[in-house]
Amino acid sequence: MRKPIVAGNWKMNITSAEAVQLVEELKPLVADVDGVDIVLCPPFSSLEATCKAIRDSNLLLGAQDMFWEESGAYTGEVSARMLLTSGCRYVILGHSERRAYFGETNQTVNKKLNAALGAGLVPIVCVGERQQEREAGITQKIIQDHVTGAFEGISAEQVSGVVIAYEPVWAIGTGLTATPGQAQEVHAFIRQILTGLYNSNWAQQVRIQYGGSIKPENAAVLFGQPDIDGGLVGGASLAAGSFAKIVKGV
């Protein structure tokens, strides 16, 4: 039985003071939620404040990215160990915005995945096709490339601890959500790829989140699909009320 996971990706929003306020609003709304991993992913600058604010709650901390080297002359970057020591347990890797604006590739995602697993973080690896790729009928090819590229050299034992987020790029921040059927189809395909790379036993253990314009109104039906194990939520995670409703849709 896979434990559902709902993560809020705050992107480049929320100062430290705003993070504390958001967490204080959210805590009582989800205090009675059991059996779901609820993860908040603030920008780096709000990690420490968020970490303090979630103490003694059922909320967990994640980061939005990291670099694969352990330390050194890499201006602007942070390492897996820095995230761990800031209280993170999770890290988002290969988000489509990082692929689109910051040169992230399947190869760099693979390096980061290795480093994150090596340090003991739980990676959330993002995969997803762009609109023109879906229209060209190559969704499966893109997903196959993203998954096989990211997981190159990752062992079966390691893969069971990884979370995958299927985020169709055309659904991110656009208000367009994949239908439950469209999302389930790709989630099942991702599990099929993992079965081929490892075996069905390992593939069944991997949690696969859906992401892309999740809202309180569509969360429950998406999360009700057999291969959808929760969500990666952008815009709707910035308000405690809507995020709590989404968490409760699991």
Catalogue the active-site residues.
95, 167
Q: What is the DSSP letter of 16?
A: H
Nearer to ligand PGA, 186 or 203 (CB): 186
Q: How far is the CB of 174 from ligand PGA (least distance, A)?
A: 7
C-alpha pair distances (Å), 163 with each of 2, 6, 152, 155, 201: 11, 11, 15, 14, 15
Nearer to ligand PGA, 13 or 204 (CB): 13
Nearer to ligand PGA, 4 or 212 (CB): 212
* Tokens linked to 216: 């309180």
Of residues 78, 64, 53, 40, the one with CA closest to residue 125: 64
Q: How far is the CB of 40 from ligand PGA (least distance, A)?
A: 13
Rg of the chain (C-alpha set):
17
Non-local (6+) Cβ contacts of 5 within 8 A are 36, 37, 38, 39, 163, 207, 209, 229, 230
Q: How far is the CB of 73 from ligand PGA (least distance, A)?
A: 31
Nearer to ligand PGA, 197 or 216 (CB): 216
* Tokens linked to 192: 């099929």
Q: How far is the CB of 99 from ligand PGA (least distance, A)?
A: 11
**Which residues sit at the interface with ligand PGA, rule CB under 6 A?**
9, 167, 172-173, 211-214, 232-236
Half-sphere exposure for 189 (CA within 13 Å, toward CB): 20
- Give the span between the Cα atoms of 18 and 45, in whole angstroms: 12
Report the relative pairing of strands 59-63 and 90-93 from DSSP bridges.
Answer: parallel
Q: Which residue is nearest to ligand PGA (CB)?
A: 234
